Amino acid sequence: MQGKGRYGKYLHAAETLVGFLMVNLAFLIASLSDEFVVGFRWKVTWLIVNISYLPVAYLRANLNQTRATHLDIIVKHAFEAAFIHALFFFSILAFLDSWVHNMSFYLWFYALLFTLLPVGWISTRLCTKHLRKKGINYTRAIIIGNGDTAIRLQEEMLSDPGYGYRVLGIFASSQGIIPDSCYLGTLDNLERFVIDNNVDEIYYAISGEDAETFRRVVKIADDSVVQFYYVPQVSPYVTRVGELSNIGRVPILSIRKNPLKNPLNRALKRGFDLLFSTTFLIVSPVVFIPIVIAVKLSSPGPIFFKQKRTGYLGREFYCYKFRTMKVNASSDSKQATRNDSRITKVGKFLRHTSMDELPQFINVWLGDMSVVGPRPHMIKQTTDYTKLIDKYMVRHMIKPGITGWAQITGYRGQTDELWQMEKRVECDVWYIEHWNFFLDLKIIVLTVINAIRGEENAF
C-alpha cells in the first residue's frame, strides 16, 4: 500500500517547477546574445519573464489530463503554453514600455522556449511513467459492468504499465462474458470490497437507465470517499467524445469528432504535406535512381506499379508504388502474402524497408494522399470490407496516408482474418478523432525508426 497514489499531488508541482526551470534556462541563454540586457534591465526582464509564466502554470494545473495522456498531446500543450507566455510577456512589456531593443533576444528566447518546454514536460511525464512501472503513484480501480465496454476499458487501462492503473477486477450482476480472472462477484460484495482493498476509483460501465443500481454505486463511492466515473455505453469504434453539451438538465454527447473539419487544421496539414513532399521529391533522385535500376533488372515489366485505390470520401485514385512483383493478372485483387511467389528478391527488400511506398509522395504532392493517414485499400477490399465491418467507410473521412497510426501500432501487412482488419479500422478511426499536428510528427518519426529496423509484417 505504500506507493499507492499518494504521490499524485506532486506531479503538477513537478511539472510547474520544470516549466519555471525551462523558462529561466531559456532566458539565461538568450541573455548571452544581448549585451544590453544587463544590470537593472536584466532584473526587470527576468521578473517579467517569470510573471508571464504564472498564467501558464495556472491553466496547466486546471487542465483535465488523465494518466493515459499521450506524449504528442503534451507537446501540443507545451507549444500552446509558449504562445500564452508570449502573449502575456509582450503585453506586460508594452504596458511598462520596458522593451529590450535587440530583436535577437526575443528570437533566441522563444526559439529556446519552444524547444525546452516540450522536452522538460515530456521528461517529467516519462519519469512519472517509469515510477509507476516500479509501483509508485499507482491508483487502485474497479469496474462495474456486464458487457464489452467493461472489458475494453480494462484492456485499455492495462495496455501501458506507465499509466499506473491497478485494475482489481470487474463487478457485474452476473458473470456473463466477464473472464473468470477478472470477475469479482455481484454488487452485493461491492461495499465490503471497496473498504477492504482501499479502492481509489470506480468506473461505472452499466447503462445509466438502471437508476437504482447507479444510485447505489454512487452512494458507496461517496461514503467511501472514492472517485466515481461514468463510462458511456458506445460502440467500440467511438473512441472519443467530440463534445459534451446539455439540453436543459439532460447531458448530450456528440460521438463523432473530426478535427480536420476545421479549415485551419486542414490548411496546416496540407501545408505540411506540400512542404514535406516537395522537399523529398527534390532530393528523391538520390534514392530513386538506384531503386529504378534494381527494379528494372529484377524482372521484366514497368518500374512503377499503378493501382486504383479508395481515397478521400470514397473517391478512387491511382496510387503509385515501385513494382515489387512479377507482372501478374491478380495484382488488383489478391493481397500479398508471406513468401508470396510473385514478389521478386528486390521487391522483398523494398517491401521490408517500406521503400516501395516512396513514389506515393507524388500522390501527396498531387493532393490525393497525405503523409499521414489511413492506408488506402484496393477497390475490391473496400467493396468487401464495407459489407463486413461496421464504420469501415469512416476511415475515408480524411485523405489516405503513406503511413498511419495502424501501421506503427502493428496492424499492417496481410489480413487473413477479419479481426485484423477490424483492428486496423479501429486504429484509423482513433487517428481521425484524435488528430493533431504533433501526432502526425510522432507517427512519421516512429515510421522512420520501424523502416530502419525492418518490419516483420512488411512482406
Residue range 127-176, pLDDT digits in tens: 888 888 888 878 899 999 887 888 888 888 888 888 888 999 999 877 67
CB of 442 closer than 8 Å to CB of 323: no
Q: Tens digits of per-residue pLDDT, 212-243?
A: 888 888 899 888 888 898 887 765 555 555 56
Cα–Cα distance, 27 to 397 (Å, whole number): 44
End-to-end CA distance of the chain: 48
What average pLDDT does the chain have?
Answer: 84
- What number of other Cβ atoms are within 10 A of residue 140's Cβ? 18
Cα–Cα distance, 181 to 183 (Å, whole number): 6
Strands (E), 172-303: 183-185, 201-204, 227-230, 243-247, 250-254
For residue 123, pLDDT over 60 is answered with: yes
Nearest of 286, 269, 288, 320 to residue 443 by alpha carbon: 269
What is the pLDDT at residue 441? Answer: 92
CB of 427 closer than 8 Å to CB of 406: yes
Nearest of 128, 120, 22 to residue 68 by alpha carbon: 128
What is the pLDDT at residue 1? Answer: 37
Q: Which residue has the cell 470514397?
A: 314
Pairing of strands 227-230, 370-372: unpaired
Which residues are within 8 A (CB) of 229 and not within 5 positions of it... i.e. 6 or more apart? 201, 202, 203, 204
Local structure of 142: helix, strand or coil? strand
Cα–Cα distance, 275 to 365 (Å, whole number): 9
Determine the residue type at 440. D
